[in-house]
Amino acid sequence: MVHPPARGALGRDPTRILVAAIGAATTLAFAAGAGGSWLPPFDVSAPGGSPSVPMVALDMAGDGIAVWTQTEAGNIRARVVRVPLVGSPGAPLTLSAAGANGEDPDVALDDDGDALAVWERSNGMNLIIQAAWLPRSGPGGATMDLSAIGQDAQDPHVVLDADGDATVVWARSDGVNDIVQAVQIPALGTPGPVRDLSVAGRPAEHPRLDVERDGDAI
């Protein structure tokens, strides 16, 4: 494995880029902003298991985090790894529970390096949106169910503001159409109430989200 570069190789340029790609493994590479030189890639996923669907995020210090899916013990599982700008990646952790597929992960970081990962997983009857906090120091938090049971929910997307407050969106069936829903989660806390964003009566899909530093989101 090729390790991430020493900090001096990229300086403290806030436009650093971290890119994830899928080949035989989940592979990451850094570049130092627009026009910067790409550094050698390094693998973060274990061999085998058909890794797929990588997503990445960076904090203000340039440290990164990556999520992807990989087959493990007969199920697709959402996985995560920390990627410091200095030193070697941490050991990958499995986010979704065994026994059902956990797919379509996403992840966001705040300025301090605390992260929230989200994914979709079957509860045996429906797909539900789940999430877990990943503090910069210490173990990951308990898995939280975000969407209501009874209908399929899918395509989650998450953002964090500078203070670590999260907003998550997804699409969920109301029994007739998919509607876009959202929930806000205070930093390292538990979810608030779920809100319907799209109007009933017409399908709404593939929600995406962005947030500014003070927490206003669109």
Q: For the CA atoms of 187, 163, 62, 41, what is the dihedral angle to 10 degrees?
A: 40
Query: Which alpha helices (H) appear in the chain, and where do they start and end?
Result: 7-10
Spatial CA neighbour of 96 closest among 133, 124, 131, 56: 131
Tell me, what's the pLDDT at 2?
A: 38
Tens-place pLDDT, residues 56-91:
999 988 899 999 999 988 899 999 999 988 778 889
Residue 150 reports pLDDT greater than 50: yes
pLDDT 10s digits, 179-212 = 999 999 999 999 999 999 999 899 999 999 999 9
Q: What is the mean pLDDT of residues 114-140?
A: 94
Mean pLDDT value across residues 109-125: 95
Burial of 140: CB neighbours in 10 Å, binned 0-12, 13-18, 19+:
middle
Q: How confident is the model at residue 129 (pLDDT cuts 50, 70, 90)?
A: very high
Q: Please give the pLDDT value at position 19.
A: 64
The Cα–Cα gap between 93 and 35 comes to 33
pLDDT over 70, % of the chain: 84
12-64 pLDDT, tens digit per residue, is: 444 455 666 665 666 777 666 666 777 788 888 888 888 899 999 999 888 99
Task: Give kind and range of the element (H or E) at residue 134.
Answer: strand 127-134
Q: What sign results for the dihedral spanned by CA atoms 12, 13, 15, 16?
A: negative
Euclidean distance between CA atoms 202 and 6, whole angstroms: 51
pTM of the entire structure?
0.86
**pLDDT at residue 213 greater than cutoff 60:** yes
> What pLDDT shows up at residue 88?
82
